[in-house]
Amino acid sequence: MTGVETVEIEIVRLPHGRDLQLPDYATAAAAGADLLAAIDQDIELAPLERRIVPTGISIALPVGFEAQVRPRSGLAAKNGITVANAPGTIDADYRGEVGVILINLGKEPFRITRGMRIAQMIVARHARAVWREVGELGQTERGAGGFGSTGTTAGSARKG
């Protein structure tokens, strides 16, 4: 696809992921690559239960990149299945197996099967902050307004 930056990521398929597809993009313009459940037996995730689900892969990201593990919108909308620490961050110096912390926020048990698409992974550049302590911060229209300070409807943001 033209106009899309690419980055080469080294990946190791672990023994329990031997027959599973590597992370892949569902469509040409998708931002996230699907992660699959590399499990030998089905997992039944009870309501409010969370479990680390293995993916059968390890990756080596270049320095300056991270991978974010995010929920799949269909699983969340239809079944209440989400990633407990969304987005989960994989750092460039991590070399272990990619695991997905799934939680069932639905009312019914949910069955996870081998090869099921359980999450998506987005690879992104990041910057490292250099902190510069100052006596006070510059002023903005919002100022120190915190959670909910801009309202919930268009045009409801505080003025002045």
Domains of the chain, each with CATH number or no CATH = 10-125 (2.70.40.10)
Q: Span 9-22, mean pLDDT?
A: 98
Q: What is the radius of gyration, based on Cα positions, of the chain?
A: 20
Q: Could you report the per-residue pLDDT of 92-124, keeping only the tens digit for each?
A: 999 999 999 999 999 999 999 999 999 999 999
| Predicted local confidence at residue 153, as pLDDT | 80
Does 160 have pLDDT greater than 70? no
For 39, residues 6+ apart whose C-beta sits below 8 A from its C-beta are: 16, 53, 54, 112, 113, 114
For the chain, give the percent of residues with pLDDT over 90: 84
Residue 1: the pLDDT is: 56
Averaged pLDDT for residues 47-73? 98
Residue 58 has pLDDT above 90, yes or no: yes
Instruction: Give the pLDDT confidence of 33-53 residue by residue, as tens digits.
Output: 999 999 999 999 999 999 999
- pLDDT bracket for residue 86 (50, 70, 90): very high
What string of H, E and C letters represents the secondary structure of the chain?
A: CCCCCCCCCEEEECHHHCCCCCCEECCCCCCCEEEECCCCCCEEECCCCEEEEEEEEEEECCCCEEEEEECCHHHHHHHCEEECCCCEEECCCCCCEEEEEEEECCCCCEEECCCCEEEEEEEEECCCCCCCCCCCCCCCCCCCCCCCCCCCCCCCCCCC
Query: What is the predicted pLDDT for the residue at 159?
Result: 52
Share of the chain above pLDDT 70, in %: 96
**pLDDT score at 148:** 77
